Amino acid sequence: MHTTLIDQGLDLMLFGMGSVFSFLLLLVLATRVMSLLVNRWLPEELVSGIVAKASAGAPPSTIDPKIVKAIQTAIDRHRGGGKRD
Amino acid sequence: MHTTLIDQGLDLMLFGMGSVFSFLLLLVLATRVMSLLVNRWLPEELVSGIVAKASAGAPPSTIDPKIVKAIQTAIDRHRGGGKRD
Amino acid sequence: MHTTLIDQGLDLMLFGMGSVFSFLLLLVLATRVMSLLVNRWLPEELVSGIVAKASAGAPPSTIDPKIVKAIQTAIDRHRGGGKRD
Amino acid sequence: MDKLVSLWASSGVAQLEAGQLIMMSVGMVLLYLAIRRGFEPLLLVPIGFGTVLVNIPGAGFDAAPLYDAMGQLETPGGLLYYIYHAGIETGLFPLIIFMGVGAMTDFSSLLANPKTLLLGAAAQVGIFSTVLGAVALGHFGILDFSIRDAASIGIIGGADGPTAIFVTSKLAPELLGAVAVAAYSYMALVPIIQPPIMRALTSEAERGIKMQQLRPVSAAERIIFPLLLLMLVAMLLPDAAPLLGMFCFGNLMRECGVVNRLSDTTQNALINSVTIFLGLGVGSKMSADQFLNAETLGILGLGAVAFCIGTAAGILMAKVMNKFSTHKINPLIGAAGVSAVPMAARVANRVGLESDPQNFLLMHAMGPNVAGVIGSAVAAGVMINLVAGL
Amino acid sequence: MDKLVSLWASSGVAQLEAGQLIMMSVGMVLLYLAIRRGFEPLLLVPIGFGTVLVNIPGAGFDAAPLYDAMGQLETPGGLLYYIYHAGIETGLFPLIIFMGVGAMTDFSSLLANPKTLLLGAAAQVGIFSTVLGAVALGHFGILDFSIRDAASIGIIGGADGPTAIFVTSKLAPELLGAVAVAAYSYMALVPIIQPPIMRALTSEAERGIKMQQLRPVSAAERIIFPLLLLMLVAMLLPDAAPLLGMFCFGNLMRECGVVNRLSDTTQNALINSVTIFLGLGVGSKMSADQFLNAETLGILGLGAVAFCIGTAAGILMAKVMNKFSTHKINPLIGAAGVSAVPMAARVANRVGLESDPQNFLLMHAMGPNVAGVIGSAVAAGVMINLVAGL
Amino acid sequence: MDKLVSLWASSGVAQLEAGQLIMMSVGMVLLYLAIRRGFEPLLLVPIGFGTVLVNIPGAGFDAAPLYDAMGQLETPGGLLYYIYHAGIETGLFPLIIFMGVGAMTDFSSLLANPKTLLLGAAAQVGIFSTVLGAVALGHFGILDFSIRDAASIGIIGGADGPTAIFVTSKLAPELLGAVAVAAYSYMALVPIIQPPIMRALTSEAERGIKMQQLRPVSAAERIIFPLLLLMLVAMLLPDAAPLLGMFCFGNLMRECGVVNRLSDTTQNALINSVTIFLGLGVGSKMSADQFLNAETLGILGLGAVAFCIGTAAGILMAKVMNKFSTHKINPLIGAAGVSAVPMAARVANRVGLESDPQNFLLMHAMGPNVAGVIGSAVAAGVMINLVAGL
Ligand code: NA
Ligand code: NA
Ligand code: NA
């Protein structure tokens, strides 16, 4: 019975680490292939354009653009030392 | 049995559209009457005043008024082209 | 039976107010002792320092520091009447 | 070695059935439509993802919990099981969403021009003629639809997601996946489906009709309107009261001005959280045996028909109303009566601008647009009432 | 024709009972008070709306779900049924609200001047003398109150909504509607109820007493205080531990400075969501048979008395304390001991300014004000303990 | 007098058992560590507070509800009872947290340098060697650990709180308190535990290795990655699908750019609310009989060992990889493979800066850091699968 417990632990270690390594190794390969394909067939410019378009169709952000603008202005001034005034 | 299914469908259409139309027609009338009464007995100024008062009794907004003020200021400046500086 | 109801009410009043008063009186004493100990053994500077350090270890606030800065700048300007420009 | 066999036997590949693979692809297509094509992403991203999750073989996302003889939990259920049974089967999630939609709805346009409510009524013709189409398919033995199924399919024409989910989860839960997907897909297709119908049914002159500027609406009117609507529903159509009651509650919180804290949370954290779980829960009904059959094709086809008829009915109603009224309505805004807020109103505005670049219809179209929400909810109440009695 | 009969038979008008109509009007009155008069709108808007919803004939907002013999859901329950049973009957919602209130409470004033805790204790006299009044009404057969009812009625005098709801849902759930409405209404009436009592019990000189400026309180004191309070409660009054435990937890999250994310959510999205559902759930107990009876009048009357006695007791306690202390307390701040945060403290400040426009009592009054919250929760714990044993 | 006896008998002091007092002190120590020492305060504040609450004698925070013969609720359960059974026993809270963590995770670094995934794999050696240690202790009769207990203890080495809670609540719920406390404590101790190991296993030259600048990663890659991961999990390790599925869902919402509303709520209101309740619920398992025993000491000891082995394995793996690769990896970032995001990555950065003030490793370390999250979840899935079959 006790031997079984140790055996179970060894089994768990063996198959556990095996699975973890095999899985992540596969994920490394799959990720490389994916990146390769994406960068060949979906270059950045195209993607950004499409995503931006999709975003435009989505409901507007909940922050009032005027406030965003105002904050941006404040940031700009802070950085630019009031050049725009 | 199948005839019944078609009958059920026709019934649903007849009573459904009848209900929808009667209900929304009634809502049109009720809304007109309501607007009439409101605009006669609760002219805008009065209402705004009361609502404003009620708001004042409610817990304060969670945004610090100073921040709101600051944002407003930034908006004003942005619009006014820095006249106030 | 009815007498019991009145009795129950009197009991409730007696033991209830007794408990409330005893408890809050004890809380007054405990609070005084606590404040005394804290102000002797954990003077303000030390505490602030430690709390600040602990905060630093916590995940960053969800508000972009640039925005906070910008708002602060806007507040400063609003207060200072544009002196910094 | 046994372990390897066990791991393999429990792996997805070994257990995978063709239906699951296809449904996972369906989920991926929904994600593609949502992310790359902008199809109602707030719902279709969770629905699509839920579709993938529930079809992972052996993952047990929709597994029921197991209890031992003492009533103690032995094995917990899957996430989607809990979401579906706690939030969708009970109707809670659609109702909370409706509260949020109410809190996001501005009735000003409708209040300034209440007769546009009738455009929202007319567009519901799409719902009921689709019911008729579905029972006809059932009658002729082409597809196996009961009257409950037909009612659920018809509601797609209401172009209102939560209403469709609420009705379908009550009348025909096994169709929930197909109906919800159809409803949100067609809502997303409004800019493609509606314009040809709008152009076909209107003349250039009609499309150029300039509408009177809307009068300003007082705060009191906006506060009283949801209460008025609630009272009418309470007196006349209590079956529509759950949906419209929560809608009015949300709108009252928005307009009354004294509970802005609650209104903000309703419009943000609360509706967003529930949207995520609603979408996942709908996805949990996207199993191969419930989705991959001829009925789903029928549902998708009928849904498209419903949309077109609803659009047409709204436009024609506007033209009829113009016969009896001095203040002409631009019939394009009738198409907005299908709801699909605010997309349908934007489409009406865009088609109007094609005829006359100075004719801004957006605000006018918001009236029938929100009226369509009310109309669909009324239709839903009537159908639940009548069908339950059949 | 049958369909018309069915629709009519299921319509609200046909099923409407007089009691429901009256209760819907009560709901409307609550909404009016909340929106137009500013009566605690965060709670009374949801309670009022819930009252209307639950009294819509045939809408089934408080219907229980039906299960078939296999335990499968046949008909889902109503929204308010689920809210009440999941959140109020279990006590979860009041406890989460208390956590939020704790996260919103600043104990600085109390820590700077701990003896103001005694003012919060004194004000609880209102609770227990009302219990006495209720049992007297029961004793003389005027109204039918048990000791459990009396305890629930008394807690109105605590001027603390979640505490009142927590106690009543445990001891006398059928009184929940009346007790909650009374509690929130009187809290809203603080600016009207308290000033005459305050003026009657104090002299011009007393109202003009200037209090010592409060010392600054260190962060460490504010972090340790909720833990100290928790420990005392744990050792002495475990029945008060649910309410005060969550209150202290919220306050610790606020003050400890390392979980600001959690504190923010507790003070905003979480408490707002729960407030909406708590209000609707309380409204679900506003049915005609539970609300429209002589007992409700008794509850409203006794609640008003409780409020007045509590206010008076707080003021008198301050005067007594002044006899034994060199640092005089302005007795007006004693009235803030009833809780009703922060309204009662503002009223004390305003009445104080009438006597001396330079005498700012607001910060001083916050001490007894939050002490009143603690006092009521302690009283609640004691009552639950004692009444359960009777 | 009876009343006094009753009050006294029900007071905490009279009922207090030594174990409860000690556990309350444990809770206070956790609060101290969280607040004053900054130990993972987002979790340890709620866990510590929950520990105190559940050990208050007579307060009934973990009391089960009582029902009468008719199935009606007689006495509601305690807050922590409901939280534990609704959110932790079912696995819902850890899964929602994982969704939130996914929405907060940026995979850019991993995508730019995918081989760092192997560092996250290596660090899981900590998990499995601890399992071995636990069964050895069980084997030699030193402590009473079953294989389920051992698996739960091992997962501490994953340095990932929600994963540890998810696994333990499934395999060994009675150890939940000890395992969660150990997991979060050691995550907080990363800056103390890891640096000596890192310095011992690396040479000055190795620590000074400058890594290639990471290439920019396109939006499409970031959108597709969570779907790719999901598909691999679905096909190969469905037992890991609940955790990794929700993780990928959150990440997809973050990256897809069309559901920012949902992503924001997931990263804020939703994860914060659930974190509070998760912490309290874990605290509810901190009772004296489950925590105060030799096994807990064993768990704490084994957990520390797991952490050290995981750290070492990550570093050594990096050194091995450098033997086969031209683009050298700085072995310090291997230590980040234990997860403990983002603390472990920061520690790698800091130790790197000691050797060369111009060598910024933070972004490079984020790759193995998030890989560690994936690795632990995979390990969790494998263990749940294998242990359930034993
Ligand atoms: Na509609
Ligand atoms: Na009070
Ligand atoms: Na890990």
Interface ipTM? 0.88
Start-to-end CA span in chain A (Å) = 83
Chains D and A touch (3+ CB pairs under 8 A): yes
Residues that place a CB less than 5 A from ion ligand 2: E 158-160, 339, 372, 376
Is B64 part of the contact surface with chain E (CB cutoff 8 Å)? no
Q: Which has more confidence, F275 or D143?
A: F275
Give percent above pLDDT 90 in chain E: 72
Q: To probe the interface with C, which of B62, B71, B72, B76 has the most C CB atoms within 10 Å?
A: B71
pLDDT digits (tens, 9 = 90+) for D92-132: 999 999 999 999 999 999 999 999 999 999 999 999 999 99
Please report, as a single letter, which amino acid is at residue B32: R
Rounded to the nearest integer, the mean pLDDT of chain D is 92
What residues 11-50 of chain C have any CB closer than 8 A to a CB of chain F? 11, 14-15, 19, 50
- SS (HEC) of chain A: CHHHHHHHHHHHHHHHHHHHHHHHHHHHHHHHHHHHHHHHHCCHHHHHHHHHHHHHHCCCCCCCHHHHHHHHHHHHHHHHCCCCC
| Interchain CB distance below 8 Å, A69 and B85 | no
**Which chain E residues are within 8 Å of F273, Cβ to Cβ?**
265, 269-270
Could you tell me the distance, in angstroms and rounded to a whole number, from the CA of residue F372 to the centre of ligand 3?
4
Q: Which has more confidence, E390 or D63?
A: D63
C-alpha–C-alpha distance, residues F61 and E246, integer Å: 11
pLDDT at res. C3: 56
Could you tell me the distance, in angstroms and rounded to a whole number, from the CA of residue E156 to the centre of ligand 2?
9
Q: Which residue of F lies nearest to D55 if distances are taken between CA atoms?
A: F234
Mean of the pLDDT values across residues A38-54? Answer: 59
C-alpha–C-alpha distance, residues C67 and A75, integer Å: 7
Q: Which residue of D lies nearest to A55 if distances are taken between CA atoms?
A: D38
Extended strands (E) in chain E: 66-67, 73-75
**Which chain A residues are within 8 Å of C66, Cβ to Cβ?**
75
C-alpha–C-alpha distance, residues E193 and E343, integer Å: 12
Question: Within chain F, which residues score under 50 in pLDDT?
Answer: none
pLDDT digits (tens, 9 = 90+) for D337-385: 998 888 999 999 999 999 889 889 999 999 999 999 999 999 999 998 8
pLDDT digits (tens, 9 = 90+) for D318-338: 999 999 988 899 999 999 999
Q: To probe the interface with E, which of B21, B41, B50, B61 has the most E CB atoms within 10 Å?
A: B50
- Contact between residue E83 and residue E61 where contact means Cβ atoms under 8 Å apart: no
pLDDT at res. B73: 52
Nearest to D7 among A15, A51, A56 (CB): A15
CA angle, E59 then E60 then E62, to 5°: 135
Rounded to whole angstroms, the maximal C-alpha distance in chain D is 85
- From the CB of residue F380, how many other CB atoms can be counted at a distance below 10 Å? 32
Q: Which ligand gives the minimal distance to the CA of E375?
A: 2
From E173, E277, E34, select the one nearest E164 (Cα to Cα): E173
User: Could you tell me which chains touch chain B, where touching means 3 or more CB pairs under 8 A?
Assistant: A, C, D, E
Q: Which ligand gives the minimal distance to the CA of D164?
A: 1
Q: To probe the interface with F, which of E259, E263, E270 has the most F CB atoms within 10 Å?
A: E259
Chains E and A touch (3+ CB pairs under 8 A): no
pLDDT at res. B80: 44
**Which chain D residues are within 8 Å of B3, Cβ to Cβ?**
139
| Interchain CB distance below 8 Å, F36 and C57 | no
Q: Cα–Cα distances in Å, from B69 out to A76, C74, E140? A: 19, 9, 61
Mean of the pLDDT values across residues E335-355? Answer: 91
pLDDT digits (tens, 9 = 90+) for F218-266: 999 999 999 999 999 999 988 899 999 999 999 999 999 999 999 999 9
> DSSP code of E107?
-
How far off is chain A from B83, nearest CA to CA, in Å?
8
Residue with tokens 């008909």: E75
How far off is chain F from A31, nearest CA to CA, in Å?
7
**Which chain C residues are within 8 Å of A85, Cβ to Cβ?**
85
| Interchain CB distance below 8 Å, A47 and F220 | yes
Instruction: Evaluate the omega torsion of the peptide bond into residue A59 and state whether it is cis, within 30 degrees of 0.
Output: no
How far off is chain E from B62, nearest CA to CA, in Å?
8
pLDDT band of residue B3 (cuts 50, 70, 90) is low
pLDDT digits (tens, 9 = 90+) for E215-260: 999 999 999 999 999 999 999 988 899 999 999 999 999 999 999 9
Q: Which ligand gives the minimal distance to the CA of F190?
A: 3
**Which chain B residues are within 8 Å of C80, Cβ to Cβ?**
none
| Interchain CB distance below 8 Å, E234 and F7 | no
Start-to-end CA span in chain E (Å) = 59
pLDDT at res. C44: 64
Q: Which residue of A lies nearest to F380 if distances are taken between CA atoms?
A: A16
Please report, as a single letter, which amino acid is at residue D354: E
pLDDT at B10 over 60: yes
pLDDT at res. C1: 45
Range scoring the smallest mean pLDDT among B51-65, D297-311, E325-339, F200-214: B51-65
pLDDT band of residue D2 (cuts 50, 70, 90) is low
pLDDT at D70 over 50: yes
| Interchain CB distance below 8 Å, E385 and F79 | no
Task: Determine whether C52 is exposed, middle or buried from the number of CB atoms within 10 Å of its CB (0-12, 13-18, 19+).
Answer: exposed
* 3-state DSSP assignment of residue E54: helix
| Interchain CB distance below 8 Å, A15 and D3 | yes
Please report, as a single letter, which amino acid is at residue E46: P
Enter the pTM of the model: 0.90
pLDDT band of residue D46 (cuts 50, 70, 90) is very high
pLDDT at E325 over 90: no
C-alpha–C-alpha distance, residues A17 and F378, integer Å: 10
Nearest to E89 among F34, F53, F76 (CB): F76
pLDDT at res. A41: 85
Q: Which ligand gives the minimal distance to the CA of F156?
A: 3
> DSSP code of E293?
S
pLDDT at res. B45: 52
Contact residues, chain D to chain A, C-beta under 8 Å: 3-4, 7, 35-38, 41-42, 267-268
Nearest to F269 among E236, E242, E265 (CB): E265
Could you tell me the distance, in angstroms and rounded to a whole number, from the CA of residue D159 to the centre of ligand 1?
5
pLDDT at res. A73: 53
pLDDT digits (tens, 9 = 90+) for E62-71: 999 998 888 7
pLDDT band of residue E5 (cuts 50, 70, 90) is confident
pLDDT at res. C83: 35
Could you tell me the distance, in angstroms and rounded to a whole number, from the CA of residue D341 to the centre of ligand 1?
9
Q: Cα–Cα distances in Å, from D301 out to D304, E23, E271, F228? A: 5, 47, 45, 32
